[in-house]
Structure formats: C-alpha cells, structure tokens
C-alpha cells in the first residue's frame, strides 16, 4: 500500500499512457504497431540523452541552461570529426590544451596576487588579444578539406597543416594567454581552497599532452584512420562525451558560477552561447550538414540480411533485424539500448554512490551540505560536466542516424525542454518518462502524416500535414500541463 501511495502519480500516468497507446494503435497490424513503438523509443532515447543532463543540472543548481542543445551539437561534430577527419582535432586540440594549462596556474596566482576589478578586466582583454594573435592565419579551412568532410577539393595533410615550428609558437602563445587569463580570474577568496600540487600536476599533464599531440599528429592521424570502423566509432563516442563534459565544466567554472544569484543573467548568457556555438560550427565546418558513416556493426547487407532475430544479428551484424516480419534498422535498436543503459547508470549514480548522495542532498539543502565540509562548488562543476557529457554522447549517437548540421542545437533544445516540462523540472525519472511520451507522440504523428490513421468514428483514414507531426509534441505538453501544471513527476515548491 505504501508503494501505491508513494507512486500514485507515476502509476496513473503509466495507465493513461497505456490506454492512449492502445486506442492509437487500434486497427493497425502488429508489425506496423511495433514499428511505431520502436521508432518512438528511438526518438525517446535520443531526447532522454539531452533532457537527462538538462534536468540533472536544473535539479541541483537551478540553472536553465539554454546552451545545452549546443553542447549536444558540438559533441556530435567533435565525434564526427574524429571519425572522418582526425587531423582537424590533432592540430587544434594542442592550442586548447595549452590555453587550459595556463589557466591551471590560477590557484597559485590567486594565493599571492589579488587584483582590483579594473586590472582584471584589462588582463582579460589582453588574454583575448593574445588568443587572437596566436590563431591568426591558422589554416582551418585547409584542415577541414579532408575526404568526406568537404564537398570541394581535398587538401592533403602535408599541405594543410603547419610546420612543427609554427605550431610550437602558437602553442606557446596560447599558454601565455592562459597565464594572463588566470591573473584576470584571480580573486582574494580563492586563497583558502588553492591546491598548489594538484594544479601543478594538471598543468604539467596538459602541457605534456599538448606537445605530445604536436610531435605525433601524423602518426595518430594514420593510426585513427587505419582503425576498424567500430573502434573508431567507440573513440568518437568517447571524444564526443569528453568534449561535452569539458565544455560544460568550463562553462560552469568561467561563466555560470559568478551568476548563481542572477538567474536572468544566466538565461541571457546561455542564450547568447547558443548563437555563438551556431556561428562557430558554421565557421569551422560550414553551413551544410553531413552524415556519419555507419560502423560495420550495423552496416552489413549480405545474403544473410536482414537478421531473423537478435541472436543472429550478433554473428551477421546486419543493418536491419526482422521484427514481426518487418525489417527494422539495427542501429535504432542500439540507440534504444544506449538510452536504457544511461537511464540505469544515472539511477545507480544517484541512488548507490557517494556522489549521488551528495547530489541528492544538495538538491534539498546545498547550504547544509557545504556546512558539512563538502565542496559544493566542485560538485556543481561535476554535475554540470556530467550533464553536458550526456548531451555530447547523445550527439555522437545521433550522428549516424540523423547526421550533423548547424540547426540541430535548437531543434533538440526545444525537444529537451518539452521533455523536462512534461516529466517535471528537476526529475530525471520524469525526464525519462517525458522522453518516452514525446518520442512515441512524434512517431505516431509521423505515421499519421505518412499513412494516415483509421479512427473508430470515421469511414476514411485521417491524414495530417507534416506540421501536425512537428506540433504533436507541443500538443502533448499542453495537455499534460493542463492536467498537472508541475509535470508528471514534478513537485510543488
């Protein structure tokens, strides 16, 4: 009885969803119904990978990160670039690592050089000038012109990348810019938490990695391109998730942290980052989109395909699997499994780990958690990085299915906000339920547009325009909010 009382809202929501699905699928063949359900689960898994991080960040930090969709897009582009054009990453990553290494001097400088605000602004402008000077005339367009990543003439690597001496100079300038930026960020209150040894270790590691990539960039380019497509895809997943997590941590540390007491400023800042990220993508990769090659695990088309069942797929690795006599893409099933694994991983993290205990306690009373000696700011950064990493991972997972294109940030941001509003702001289980509802609703809307739907009280099948399919998720959100304004699993403050 306690279980029923505690989960009453969830159980009622599930019952209503089951009844609606049964009504919607009435009159359809079993193969068509299963196809719609699997398509909805595929979209729901992608939406969850974006919305879960967004909900996690808002639940702990009360930060509505409008740039979350941009992290999804940048993660997708980073993974796609490693998969198709590793030389671009190998020639740009050392510059970013050197800049970050310079910033790692912050705890040392903050201990001894507290500067007035005007001086910090001057130094920040100086650091920006050094960065611009370091990347002037950088052969970005030549580095992008590689194989499937360019529609025009391909530029060989030997002609595209600069000499080692020129790159060493750029890396040195970026390191100096990072040092100047650390002076600009130095504050008197940072003294108590300064950790000299860890900062020196981080600085040395970043510099070693930056110079190591410079001296081995040709080797690693050939090594990555010579890898099996499956291993390269796994590498792309790691790079995409790492890119999202790294950018999320930098965003929280450098931009969001000073604005926790100013929520309107947070909204304006993250909205501005959306447009900046869009222009960065257009500048680096161009306005046209591209598809990521399907890894061979999901691309075989031999005589044994499509696979008659899931067990047979493990041997044949066909591009599709027969489900009730109808072929369904195996990669979409992989997307569903990734979403399910991420949901289980987040649940274990929040319920069974020390970090999860701290996160859940921080949601209830962050001041009390800090009074217990826990560095809440560091936890905030970890949570922001975790949520952003999920978005970056989702971008790479979506790349072979939807491709990469500049507009994907705003598209998935809108869907992610619809998901978290339906599920309840700050609730990760609510995000999962909301993603499932939105994914199934969109799949059903697409079916209505493509083939129509036979309703019990109509003699002819009802068909709708493509706009109806796009608006279906908004209609679902309106209905849910009319019935429960806080969302399905949302709670009143």
More confident residue, 394 or 112: 394
- Per-residue pLDDT at 191: 42
pLDDT in tens, 408-418: 888 888 888 88
pLDDT in tens, 285-309: 888 888 888 888 887 777 777 777 7
235-239, 361-365, 407-411: range with lowest mean pLDDT? 361-365
Residue 175 scores a pLDDT above 60 = yes
What's the CA gap between 17 and 19, in Å, rounded?
5
- Per-residue pLDDT at 444: 77
Residue 213 scores a pLDDT above 70 = yes
pLDDT in tens, 259-275: 877 878 888 888 889 99
Q: Provide, rounded to the nearest whole percent, the portion of the chain with pLDDT above 90.
A: 14
- Provide mean pLDDT across the span 365-391: 80
- Per-residue pLDDT at 263: 79
113-122, 231-240, 347-356: range with lowest mean pLDDT? 113-122
Instruction: Decide if 391 contacts 277 (C-beta within 8 A).
Output: no
- Provide mean pLDDT across the span 232-249: 92
Task: Phi first, then psi: give them for residue 76, nearest 5 degrees.
Answer: -65, -45
Residue 112 scores a pLDDT above 60 = no
More confident residue, 284 or 4: 284
What's the CA gap between 240 and 72, in Å, rounded?
9
- Per-residue pLDDT at 232: 92
Q: Taking CA 227 as the corner, what is the angle to CA 226 and CA 233, rounded to the nearest 5 degrees?
A: 135
pTM value?
A: 0.86
- Per-residue pLDDT at 190: 42
- Per-residue pLDDT at 242: 92
What's the CA gap between 489 and 293, in Å, rounded?
38
Residue 188 scores a pLDDT above 50 = no
Residue 192 scores a pLDDT above 50 = no
Selection from 151-165, 241-255, 313-327 with the highest mean pLDDT:
241-255
- Per-residue pLDDT at 71: 92
Residue 464's pLDDT band (boundaries 50, 70, 90)? low
């Amino acid at each position: 009885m306690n279980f029923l009382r505690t989960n009453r809202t969830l159980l009622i929501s599930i019952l209503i969803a089951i009844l609606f699905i049964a009504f919607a699928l009435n009159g359809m063949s079993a193969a068509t119904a299963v196809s719609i359900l699997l398509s909805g689960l595929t979209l729901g898994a992608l939406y969850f990978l974006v919305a879960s991080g967004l909900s996690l960040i808002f639940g702990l930090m009360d930060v509505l990160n409008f740039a979350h969709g941009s992290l999804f897009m940048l993660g997708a582009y980073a993974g796609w670039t490693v998969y198709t054009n590793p030389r671009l990453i190998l020639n740009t990553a050392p510059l970013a690592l050197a800049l970050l290494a310079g910033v790692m001097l912050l705890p040392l400088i903050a201990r001894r050089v507290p500067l007035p605000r005007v001086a910090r602004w001057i130094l920040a402008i100086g650091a920006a000038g050094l960065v611009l000077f370091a990347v002037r005339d950088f052969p970005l367009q030549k580095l992008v012109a590689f194989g499937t990543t360019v529609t025009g003439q391909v530029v060989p690597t030997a002609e595209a990348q600069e000499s080692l001496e020129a790159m060493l100079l750029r890396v040195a300038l970026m390191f100096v810019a990072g040092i100047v930026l650390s002076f600009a960020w130095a504050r008197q209150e940072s003294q108590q938490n300064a950790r000299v040894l860890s900062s020196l270790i981080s600085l040395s590691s970043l510099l070693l990695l930056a110079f190591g990539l410079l001296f081995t960039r040709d080797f690693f380019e050939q090594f990555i391109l010579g890898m099996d497509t499956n291993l390269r895809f796994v590498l792309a997943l790691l790079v995409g998730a790492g890119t999202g997590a790294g950018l999320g941590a930098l965003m929280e540390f450098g931009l969001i942290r000073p604005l926790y007491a100013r929520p309107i400023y947070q909204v304006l800042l993250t909205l501005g980052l959306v447009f900046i990220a869009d222009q960065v993508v257009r500048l680096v990769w161009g306005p046209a989109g591209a598809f990521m090659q399907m890894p061979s695990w999901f691309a075989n088309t031999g005589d044994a395909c499509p696979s008659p069942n899931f067990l047979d797929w493990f041997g044949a690795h066909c591009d599709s699997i027969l489900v009730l006599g109808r072929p369904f893409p195996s990669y979409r099933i992989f997307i569903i499994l990734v979403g399910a694994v991420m949901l289980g991983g987040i649940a274990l993290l929040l319920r069974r780990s020390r970090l999860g205990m701290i996160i859940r306690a921080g949601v209830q009373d962050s001041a009390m958690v800090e009074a217990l000696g826990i560095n809440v700011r560091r936890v905030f950064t970890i949570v922001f990085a975790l949520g952003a990493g999920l978005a970056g991972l989702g971008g790479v997972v979506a790349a072979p299915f939807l491709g990469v294109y500049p507009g994907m940030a705003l598209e998935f941001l809108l869907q992610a906000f619809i998901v978290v509003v339906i599920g309840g702001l700050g609730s990760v289980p609510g995000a999962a339920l909301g993603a499932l509802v939105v994914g199934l609703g969109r799949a059903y809307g697409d079916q209505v547009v493509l083939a129509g739907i036979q309703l019990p009280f109509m003699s002819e099948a009802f068909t709708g325009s493509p706009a109806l399919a796009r608006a279906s998720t908004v209609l679902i959100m309106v209905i849910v909010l009319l019935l429960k304004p806080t969302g399905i699993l949302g709670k009143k403050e």
